[in-house]
Amino acid sequence: YKDTLLGARVVGHPLFPRLQEAAVVVEDAAHPATRALPKRWLARDEWYSFAASPRARVRVLATLDEASYSPRELTNSIAMGDHPILWSQCLGRGRSFYSALGHTAEAYATPEHTALLEGAIAWAAGEGACNK
C-alpha cells in the first residue's frame, strides 16, 4: 500500500510547532489538480517528510519549499531536499492521487485547497492524461 498505491513512506513531520506556514510550489500546472492553482502559495499545515522522494515512480505536481519552514523533528532534520507534496500516478487501469495537505479544517476553506480537490477528483474520474 505505502510503496505502490501511496508512492512513499512517511517518516515524520515537524513537532515544534507541528503546524507551520510553508510555500507550496506547483511544478506541473498542466495537471487537472493543479491547473487552477497559483505557481506558489503559502499554506499552514503539518508537513510530512518521506523516506525518499517518490519522483522516479510518480508524476510530481507540487513540492514544498523547505527554506520557507522548519523541517525539524525535535533535534533531527527531516529535510528532504527534493520534497514532493502532491502527486499522481497510474496503476494498471486505475488512478492514484496523493496530497499531504489538509490536516486542519481551515485548509478546506481556502480557495487553493478547494481548487486542488476539485481538479484531483476530475482527474481521478478520468479527465486528462494518465501518465506515470
pLDDT of the residue at 38: 97
What is d(CA 4, CA 43) in angstroms, rounded to the nearest whole number?
A: 27
The pLDDT tens digits of the residues spanning 85-129 come to 999 999 888 999 999 999 999 999 999 999 999 999 999 999 888
pLDDT confidence tier of residue 132, bands split at 50, 70 and 90: low
Please give the model's pTM, rounded to 2 decimal places: 0.88
For the chain, what is the mean pLDDT? 87
Instruction: Give the CA dihedral 44, 79, 6, 127, nearest 10 degrees.
Output: 60
Q: In the prediction, which pLDDT does 79 show? A: 73
* Higher-scoring residue by pLDDT: 132, 48: 48
Q: What share of the chain is helix, strand, coil (3-state, %, to 5)?
A: 20, 35, 45
Q: pLDDT category, 75, cuts 50, 70, 90?
A: low
